[in-house]
Amino acid sequence: MLAIPRIAIVALLLPALLAGCPRDREQPSRAERQARAEVRAGVVTVSGDDSLSQTLTWRAPAVQIAEGEQARTRKRAEAALKAGRLFADADSAIPLYLALAKRDPGDKAAQAGLRRALRDLLADGERALARSDEDIEALRRTHDVAAVARVVDGDDEQVQAFLARVDSADTLWELNRDGEHALANARYGEALAKFREALALEPRQPRAMQGVAAVESALIRRAELAGEDGDFASAQRWLADAAKLRPDIGTVPDARARIERMRSARIARLRDAGIAALPQMNGVAEARKRLAEMLLIAKPGDPVAAELRERIDLAQHYGLYRPGQTFTDAIKHGGRGPQMVVLPHGAFRMGSADGDRLGVDNERPQRNIRFDRGFAMSATEVTVGEFRRFVNATGRRTRAMRRGFSMAYDERSGNFARRSHVDWSSDYAGRPAADDQPVLHVSAKDADAYAHWLTEQTGKHYRLPSEAEFEYALRAGGSGIWPWGDGAPPANAGNFTGARDVSPHGTRRWNNAFAGYGDTYWGPAPVRRFKPNAWGLHDLSGNVGEWVADCWHDTYRRAPKDGAAWVNPGCRTRVIRGGSWASSPEQTRSAWRAPAGVDNTNARVGFRVVRDI
């Protein structure tokens, strides 16, 4: 089997050996650090003396033949030839035959023996030539043979042909040697030129082919080291150079696949680090750093980079949530809080347009509001059952309970009247309310207390919505006069005053109602009986009016520009938003608002909560 030159073995195996070294130890050994540094510099160890002597001279050892000793000398020469001792000393065949021929040029036996010796000598030289590609000692042997053969018969055609092959072997050796030294010093272009020059002299010469493979291996290893360092642009350049060397071999495509796996793994690690950073303090900034690193190595349109960018955008606007997501928070004393819906960040035009014939001055001036961060709003009004848990847990006596009455609906008169023993547990007519009914007969302070209790129980910040948040959620991306647009309400849009609605005893109808509309309810409906709006919220524009956090102001002049609640310390009048089951069509408009005393309780007003995210 053909041996591989030592230089090629080192060049091919060193990267593989280094690749197998453990990389997870905190302190690599000095030898490992040195080996890695050498590979980075393209160093390949070359050992042994690979120099050649160019002298092809040989002087035959002196042989003395006494008178009458010719026959005995011929026997000595024959024995040496048979033993394969050709030219090393005075007892070797060729020196003995040369001495016999010199003493008697006509000695035919000596001439014949010399020809046989020359034949054996050239055969020995050919065997050495066959090993000379990878064995410097074999090549040196060819030099010795060539020198002797030239002395024996320099004009012989076989000798001349052998001398030419030795000269060619010398040239190949020097080219390969110079290429290997260049490769050892990371001069890849120079090394490749030497190996290719050798192949031009002898196509498919094994050592030169192995040299080309070693250059390719070194370039691939450089690419892999660049990939390990995250420099994938350089890795691609190294691979592009390597791909030119042996295009029919699959080593470069395999290396390209390995480096792509490195790229993917590094991108995935950066993605994971970015996502892990998001919940932390200054997490968005840290995640953006990881994204910037990722974009330096990711290909255009990389889905993992796109995912991290999306997660950063979501975190910036929604924390750990997504728009449209629903969730509930665990309550410390058991159970879950209200179902919340994450609303998208964005902007809208708040209030009545100047051209709105139904608009009033307290709904103006119309203004632009932008929410740079999303927020969560309860999908429905707070229900009797949810409020019951709060009362049972805290023992709170609501405003209606303390004063012993609230304003309830009287069907006989068609009016709202004071009724004793009506509180949060009562329905719109003062009867016991079902748990799935929206809670009524609660003051603004009662609503604030419920939100504060949720905050204590969940560790999250619950509160009443601001006016701007309420209208933003009510419009849900629309800009019409009513939440559903500018025409009549579509079927199942909500619990409004409809011309087709009839009181429980069939004695009353609304005299100011949406023509042709009916929802079968006279009074509040249980939550979730009607279709949600585009953002998944129920009954914002009907069922019951709702307390918001803002104090009442006659206009929006000087109102907060960021959509926060406009609060004056100690204010006694708050804002009611959203139409109710007993509101006129004008009071169901998106921009409608009304004042109410903070201690007011009645059968048309409830509330819902928002939570910061």
**570 shares a domain with 474:** yes
Residue 473 belongs to some domain of the structure: yes
**476 shares a domain with 367:** yes
Q: Which of 169, 195, 212 represents a domain boundary (last residue)?
A: 169
- Encoded amino acid at 559, one letter: A
According to the model, what pLDDT value does residue 332 have? Answer: 94
| pLDDT above 70: residue 342 | yes
Residue 231 belongs to some domain of the structure: no
| pLDDT above 60: residue 452 | yes
Residue 196 belongs to some domain of the structure: no
- The pLDDT-based confidence of 51 (bands split at 50, 70, 90) is low
Q: Which of 149, 169, 189 represents a domain boundary (last residue)?
A: 169
Contact yes or no for 93/77 (Cβ under 8 A): yes
**380 shares a domain with 280:** no
| pLDDT above 60: residue 37 | no
**458 shares a domain with 576:** yes
SS (H, E, C) 188-256: HHHHHHHHHHHHHHCCCCHHHHHHHHHHHHHHHHHHHHHHHCCCHHHHHHHHHHHHCCCCCCCHHHHHH
Which is more confident, 31 or 546? 546
- The pLDDT-based confidence of 259 (bands split at 50, 70, 90) is very high
The average pLDDT across 99-108 equals 94
**386 shares a domain with 291:** no
Residue 421 belongs to some domain of the structure: no
Residue 215 belongs to some domain of the structure: no
The average pLDDT across 132-136 equals 90
Pull the structure tokens for residue 347: 């902007």
According to the model, what pLDDT value does residue 4 have? Answer: 32
According to the model, what pLDDT value does residue 50 have? Answer: 64
| pLDDT above 50: residue 185 | yes
- Measure the CA–CA gap between 574 and 129, rounded to whole angstroms: 106
Per residue in 157-184, pLDDT (tens digit) is: 999 999 999 999 999 999 999 999 999 9
**269 shares a domain with 153:** no
| pLDDT above 60: residue 457 | yes
**372 shares a domain with 274:** no
The average pLDDT across 345-361 equals 94
According to the model, what pLDDT value does residue 83 have? Answer: 97
The mean predicted confidence, pLDDT, of the chain is 91
**525 shares a domain with 492:** yes
Cβ atoms within 10 Å, residue 155: 7
Q: Among residues of the chain, what percentage have pLDDT more than 70?
A: 91
Domain that holds residue 289: 259-318
Contact yes or no for 473/465 (Cβ under 8 A): yes
Q: Among residues of the chain, what percentage have pLDDT more than 90?
A: 87
Pull the structure tokens for residue 137: 């000692």
- Measure the CA–CA gap between 342 and 473, rounded to whole angstroms: 10
| pLDDT above 80: residue 13 | no
Q: What is the CATH number of the domain that holds 357?
A: 3.90.1580.10
**441 shares a domain with 391:** yes
Residue 202 belongs to some domain of the structure: no
According to the model, what pLDDT value does residue 215 have? Answer: 97
Residue-wise over 17-40: b if at least 16 C-beta within 10 A, else e? ebeeeeeeeeeeeeeeeebeebbe
DSSP code of residue 596: E
- Measure the CA–CA gap between 581 and 385, rounded to whole angstroms: 20
- The pLDDT-based confidence of 19 (bands split at 50, 70, 90) is very low
Residue 370, φ and ψ in degrees, nearest 5: -125, 135
The average pLDDT across 471-495 equals 95
For residue 275, CA distances in Å to 107, 238, 288, 295 come to 98, 32, 10, 15
| pLDDT above 70: residue 126 | yes
Per residue in 430-444, pLDDT (tens digit) is: 999 999 999 999 999
Residue 341, φ and ψ in degrees, nearest 5: -120, 130
Residue 153 belongs to some domain of the structure: yes
**580 shares a domain with 462:** yes
The average pLDDT across 25-37 equals 44
**556 shares a domain with 440:** yes
**346 shares a domain with 307:** no
Residue 44 belongs to some domain of the structure: no
- What is the count of structural domains for the chain? 3
- Measure the CA–CA gap between 194 and 205, rounded to whole angstroms: 13
The residue among 338, 280, 271 whose CA lies nearest residue 305 is: 271
Q: Which of 144, 169, 194 represents a domain boundary (last residue)?
A: 169
Q: What is the pTM of this model?
A: 0.65
